[in-house]
């Protein structure tokens, strides 16, 4: 009886171990900082962001100059109100455009990661910073997919 029980437990353990190894997943990782610093569209985004910030700073400086040059308090208040409203509209437009552009970059990078993972039969992909040890580096594959010559 005990012998049968031990054999049954052994069989169940063997089956459990077999099932666990059947569900083993291949793990990959990507260095997102390297991808974003190497991806031309991300670099263009960063440059556009700096240009838009400079445009806003220039607009604010010009507005301050005009408000300061106002001849009366009423004129200064009217100019301040006008520039404040215009600045809010400009900031909103810039924010929406930047969010749209960044979303497109993120989608492109995620699609490239998925493509690289599928080609190497990787089931799970982590950020490099989140993985302590192991895994397959997909960063070069992702950069290759994102390269301008592949577009």
Residue range 40-92, pLDDT digits in tens: 999 999 999 999 999 999 999 999 999 999 888 999 999 999 999 999 999 99
Report pLDDT for 97: 93
Q: Is the pLDDT of residue 136 over 70?
A: yes
- Domain count for the chain, please give it: 1
For residue 133, the enclosing domain spans 2-150
Report pLDDT for 88: 94
Report pLDDT for 14: 43
Residue range 2-21, pLDDT digits in tens: 544 444 444 443 444 444 44
Do residues 22 and 119 make contact, with C-beta atoms less than 8 angstroms apart? no
- The Cα–Cα gap between 141 and 143 comes to 5
- Angle, nearest 10°, between helix axes 139-146 and 73-119? 120
- The per-residue DSSP string of 44-90 comes to HHHHHHHHHHHHHHHHHHHHHHHHHT-SSHHHHHHHHHHHHHHHHHH
């Amino acid at each position: 009886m005990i012998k049968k029980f031990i054999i049954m437990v052994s069989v169940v353990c063997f089956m459990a171990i077999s099932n666990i190894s059947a569900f083993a997943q291949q793990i990959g990782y990507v260095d997102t900082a390297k991808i974003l610093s190497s991806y031309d569209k991300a670099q263009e985004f960063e440059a556009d962001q700096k240009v838009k910030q400079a445009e806003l700073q220039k607009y604010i400086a010009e507005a301050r100059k005009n408000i300061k040059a106002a001849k009366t308090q009423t004129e200064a208040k009217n100019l301040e109100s006008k520039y404040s409203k215009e600045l809010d509209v400009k900031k909103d437009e810039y924010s929406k455009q930047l969010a749209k552009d960044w979303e497109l970059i993120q989608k492109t990078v995620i699609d490239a990661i998925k493509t690289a993972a599928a080609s190497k039969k990787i089931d799970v992909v982590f950020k490099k910073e989140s993985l302590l040890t192991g895994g397959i580096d997909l960063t070069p594959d992702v950069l290759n997919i994102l390269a301008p010559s592949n577009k």
